[in-house]
Each structure stands twice: as structure tokens, then as C-alpha cells.
Amino acid sequence: MKRIYLDYASTTPLDQKVLKVMWPYLQNEFYNPSAIYKEGVEIKKKVSEARAKIAHILNACSADIIFTGSGTESVNLAIRGVVSAYKNANPEKMPHIITSVIEHSAVLEVCRSIEMLAMAEVTYLSVDENGKVRVEDVENALKEETILVSVMYVNNEIGTIEPIKEIARRVKLWKIDKKRNVEDYPFVHTDASQAGNYCLLDREKLGIDLMTLDGHKIYGPKGVAMLYIKKYIPCSSVIEGGGQENGLRPGTENVPAIIGFAKALEIAQEIKEKETARLTILRNYFFDEIQKILPEVKINGSKEDRLPNNINFCIPNINAEFLVLELDAKGIACASLSSCENLNSESVSYVVASLPQGKECARSSIRLSMGRGTRKEDLKAVLKVLPELVRKARF
């Protein structure tokens, strides 16, 4: 039975062109970039070239690209690192963070941990009916003690593209109004892990100060990610060790993965427009067809400001987890919530539940996320089996 993979938001297959550039560094070119002999120096140059390639795509300085072992680590470095640096310099003050209720668990859990340790106060902003953070809510939440605003670029479950550019602009205007310099708090961080294949990544045009990107979301290897962080931003390492990555991420560099990550991001940018157009057509086709065969279906997230590959919908009164398992039995791999949430006992999408109308759909929503291997025939196969499976999955 041919399997149909529709969980590209969870992880993507390794592009063969990426594997090709990684391969020498998995075999013969194994040297440590910190070594001072010839082979080590050559490897260090290759890491520097990969860093420069990524910096060019982000319109950033190479020195501002910090490689990490995962998107989660990048987020921890961005949030915990900035808070720790502030607390070290201002032990008597209580800093303030602004984020949203629909962030990835990497953001939410580190914020809760910081709160529990009394390291910072956190404001969790609600979202509108499309899953969008209201820019005015960010502006209203800003206060003298705010040091960081962390709002994701794209939601990983419902695909809504957040108004990051406008949020960053409002924060900048707030600083101007308070007669603060650009180098002053608060800073703006965005988790762009889901944005790498389809969205603008120019940090200057976005106006952000810190950005997280993850290799395995863009057809690159697992075990590598990055944090863009402006050099003037105070930040402490969250792990102890050597002086790699400007002292912010100790540990021997994962050379093959770093080189693969740079190649994957390069490919993603080259085919971004073509893939966006192709997948938008497929996404809209599916939404039109499913509402014909199942009129009760509700679309979760924005229909306009949405990733082209994201299909998230609610079928009232069905058990989504059971439906995912039934689809799996039919050879279709999809999800009912973020893969990271499967590690917890709670199998309800907190993202969908956070929508004003979403509580009734929290247990009844399905996410199909498409990718480079998705064809119209794959979606037709899903549409063909859904009505029968929905009847079986009813409460």
C-alpha cells in the first residue's frame, strides 16, 4: 500500500541535494573546526561559508548567526538567555516578557519556567478568531519593565501568519516615544521555524531583533537550528562549556548538519514562489471540496494570511485522535495536533482551544500539512475515505 505523507509541518524529508553536500563531512572531512592544524582550519572555513550563506538570506551579519542543536534550544537561548543577562545586570528588577497563548511549547514552557523561578513576569496575549495576535494588544501590554516580545511568525498547527512586521514596528515606535535607542529594551523575537519554506526572512524588512529557524522543517537535517541575534543584545548562554558560537552555544559544531542547513535554506528560497503558488492551489482545492462533502466542517485559522501548505479543519463531534489513527490505517499520515504535544498525556490542541470559537473543536480538529512531495491525487485519496471514517469517529 502506497503511503501518503501529510505531516510536513512536523518534519520534512532530507533533500537529496542537501545530503550530497553533507556527505563528505560525514566521512573523510570529519575534523574539529576548533583545531589549529590545516584540516581543522579548512573545516572552520566551511562552517564560516555556511554561516555567511544563511546571513545573506536573512540580510544579516555572519557574526549574528548562532547555530544550535534544535529549534527548542534556539528559543531557550533567545528567551532564557536575554532574561538571564538582564537579571545578571539588574538583580533587583523584575523584567517583563510578552508572548501569545498559541506559541509553540518551546516558548510557552520556557516562559512558565521563568515565571516559576521568579525571573520574569510574563503576559500571554489572546488571539482573534483567525488565530492572530492583535498588534494593539502587544502595544497595550508594553511597559517600562518589558525586555522581550516573543511572537511566532507562523503558527505550527493552524498555519496563521502573524503580523510580525507590524508588531516589530509598533515596538520600535514605542521605544521612540519613550526616547529609547534601538539598542535598548524591549527586543522582538520570532520563532520562524514554520516560515522558512514560504515567508520573507529578511530581518531588516521584518524589523525583528532575534529569529529562530530549524533545519528539519526546511528539508534539512535534524539536530541543527539557528538563532539570529543582533550583536548588541545582552544574552547569556544557557549551557556551560567552551567558547563556540561567540560563547553562546558551547560544544563542537555539528559540521555536516550546519552545511546541510545552509544548503536547505538556500534551496527553500530558490523555489519559494513556485511552491507557494502550487500548494496554495492544492490547499484551496481541498477546502472547497471538503465543505462540499462535509458541510459541517469549520476551517481553523485565517483563510487569507495562511501558510500555503496548511490545512486545518474541525469536524464537529468527532474524535480527532481516533480519526488520525483510522487515516493511518488507510495509509495516510497526518496529525490532530503538534507532534511535540503527543509526548504529553493531553491530546487536545491548546492552539485550537485558544481561538474564541475553538473550545468545541479542540478535540475534533485535523491538520494536513503538505510539502514538495504532495500531489492532488493525495488530497483526492483523503477526500474519498473521509466520509466513511468520520461516521466511525463520531462521539
Residues written for the chain: 395
- Point out the catalytic residue in the list 61, 314, 340, 361: 340
**What three-state secondary structure class fits 7?**
strand
- Runs of H (alpha helix) within the chain: 16-26, 38-58, 71-89, 105-116, 135-141, 164-177, 203-206, 255-270, 272-293, 320-329, 350-353, 376-393
334 is catalytic: no
Q: Contact, 54 vs 205, CB < 8 A?
A: no
The arrangement of strands across the sheet holding 187-191 comes to 65-68, 225-229, 210-214, 187-191, 146-150, 96-100, 121-125
Q: Contact, 70 vs 223, CB < 8 A?
A: yes
Residue 143 in grid coordinates: 511597559
Q: Any long-range contacts for 345-353 (C-beta under 8 Å, 24+ apart)?
A: 347/321, 349/157, 349/320, 350/101, 350/102, 351/102, 351/131, 351/155, 351/156, 351/157, 351/158, 352/157, 352/158, 352/300, 352/312, 352/314
- Among 231, 228, 223, which Cα is nearest to 264's? 223
Which of the residues are catalytic?
Answer: 340
